[in-house]
């Protein structure tokens, strides 16, 4: 098999394709011949040595794949063999062969391509947890989605619009026209405009009921201020920790300095009628039955044409560095994938 390794913390070029013997599925596992692997911003953080959950480098990153099962381990139903599937991998997904526990595998409907399949788990489970499970978004409400052009942002937009909510999104200016056609009602270029002021303007001073913020630091402070009464701030990432293609300790320190450690205390939350909650999908793997329930609901919405992943671009395994450059250069509208 071929795997893409993070060989050391550094620029995209540290990603290296290496060969290894095909793995054999253990008890309860199936083996998948991978047709597409999802790339996530967490992989960029991991490559820079900024992702605490990642096993020590050198490591094969990757949370999700789609492909076809070619072997089933002891205790696993042999009827799985030959089926097209989507799987959550929690590392090791940047590979053309993976072995995963069968409960982390979902049958891929015939109408869903391999590229679309690998775009689903991380982005849509995260958006679902943020908007439906914890954010409780309602039809009359307005949600502010940061990095709305990324994989999670587009998934969140589709779910929010289905619920009948209004979406304000932040993204680089070059993405605005495309995102408007995908249903984002108002767009803000958060690198040149003050999103707090713009949100107040758009909402007539009221603020928003839900915010999805994986930028972190100062952005969380501003977001908390611009929540309407009963508003909820969902925090789920720190992309502001990344300022370039190399790790920069000063950026990390600046992010920590700007993090509102004391603003969200129980007394201030109570008197402001606001809520703050966090999401880390990587720590939900132990809740596999709940995730499978979310998947059923998401597949139903897919069948109804309510959701559909937007694939930004796919790269060959030997172009993995370019895939990371593409994301860090803020060029993707939708999901970036690796294809063996
Ligand atoms: N906690 C969880 O479970 C979880 C799960 C999934 C994702 N996340 C987080 O959610 C965020 C979005 O993830 P994603 O997979 O949807 O993103 P993605 O598809 O990889 O898109 C990345 C986009 O983020 C924007 N961005 C914001 N800050 C950036 C920076 N410092 N450097 C480069 N790009 C930056 C850029 O677009 P614009 O500048 O145009 O906005 C870029 O195109 C990330 O912070 C990720 O870590 C968290």
Digits of tens for pLDDT over the chain (340 positions)?
999 999 999 999 999 999 999 999 999 999 999 999 999 999 999 999 999 999 999 999 999 999 999 999 999 999 999 999 999 998 999 999 999 999 999 999 888 999 999 999 999 999 999 999 999 999 999 999 999 999 999 999 999 999 999 999 999 999 999 999 999 999 999 999 999 999 999 999 999 999 999 999 999 999 999 999 999 999 999 999 999 999 888 898 999 999 999 988 999 999 999 999 999 999 998 899 999 999 999 999 999 999 999 999 999 999 999 999 999 999 999 999 999 9
29 CA to centre of ligand 1 in angstroms: 31
Say what the pLDDT of residue 249 is.
85
CA pair distance 54, 47, nearest whole angstrom: 9
CA pair distance 81, 69, nearest whole angstrom: 5
327 CA to centre of ligand 1 in angstroms: 8
Ligand 1 atom, smallest distance to 282 CA: 3
CB within 6 Å of ligand 1 — which residues?
40-42, 122-123, 126, 147, 149-153, 171-172, 175, 214-215, 236-237, 239-240, 242, 279-282, 327-328, 330, 332
Q: Quick one: tokens of 10? A: 């550094």
On whether the CB atoms of residues 305 and 298 are closer than 8 A, the answer is no
The whole model's pTM is what? 0.97
The helix (run of H) or strand (run of E) holding residue 200 is helix 195-202
310 CA to centre of ligand 1 in angstroms: 15
239 CA to centre of ligand 1 in angstroms: 6
On whether the CB atoms of residues 148 and 157 are closer than 8 A, the answer is yes
By most ligand atoms within 8 Å of CB, the mutation choice from 148, 150, 187 for ligand 1 is 150
Q: Before 58, cis peptide (omega within 30)?
A: yes
* Residue 167, beta-bridge partner list: 143
CA pair distance 327, 333, nearest whole angstrom: 9
150 CA to centre of ligand 1 in angstroms: 6
Q: SS in 3 state form for 5-55?
A: EECCCCCHHHEEEEECCCCCCCCCEEEEEEEEEEECHHHHHHHCCCCCCCC
By most ligand atoms within 8 Å of CB, the mutation choice from 39, 147, 255, 283 for ligand 1 is 147
């Amino acid at each position: 098999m071929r795997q893409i390794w993070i060989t050391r913390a550094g620029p995209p070029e540290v990603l290296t394709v290496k060969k290894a013997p095909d793995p054999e599925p253990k008890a309860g596992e199936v083996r998948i011949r991978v047709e597409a692997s999802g790339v996530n911003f967490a992989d960029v953080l991991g490559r820079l040595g900024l992702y605490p959950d990642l096993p020590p480098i050198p490591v094969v990153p990757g949370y999700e794949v789609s492909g076809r099962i070619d072997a089933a381990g002891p205790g696993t139903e042999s009827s799985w063999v030959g089926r097209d599937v989507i799987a959550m991998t929690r590392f090791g997904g940047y590979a053309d062969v993976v072995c995963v526990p069968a409960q982390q595998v979902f049958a891929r409907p015939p109408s869903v391509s391999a590229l679309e399949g690998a775009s689903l788990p991380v982005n849509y489970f995260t958006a679902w947890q943020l908007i439906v499970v914890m954010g409780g978004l309602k039809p009359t409400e307005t949600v502010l989605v940061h990095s709305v052009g990324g994989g999670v942002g587009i998934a969140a937009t589709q779910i929010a619009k289905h619920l009948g909510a209004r979406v304000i999104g932040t993204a680089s200016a070059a993405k605005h026209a495309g995102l408007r056609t995908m249903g984002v009602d108002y767009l803000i270029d958060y690198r040149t405009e003050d999103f707090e002021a713009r949100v107040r303007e758009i909402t007539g001073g009221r603020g928003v009921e839900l915010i999805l913020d994986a930028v972190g630091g100062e952005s969380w402070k501003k977001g908390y201020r611009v929540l309407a009464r009963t508003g909820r701030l969902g925090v789920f990432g720190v992309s502001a920790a990344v300022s370039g293609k190399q790790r920069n300790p000063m950026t990390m320190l600046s992010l920590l300095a700007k993090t509102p450690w004391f603003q969200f205390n129980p007394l201030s939350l109570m008197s402001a009628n606001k809520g703050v909650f966090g999401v880390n999908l990587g720590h939900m793997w132990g809740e596999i039955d709940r995730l499978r329930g979310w998947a059923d609901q998401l597949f139903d919405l897919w069948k109804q044409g309510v959701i559909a992943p937007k694939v930004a671009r796919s790269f060959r395994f030997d172009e993995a560095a370019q895939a990371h450059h593409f994301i860090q250069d803020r060029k993707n509208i939708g999901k970036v994938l690796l294809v063996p």
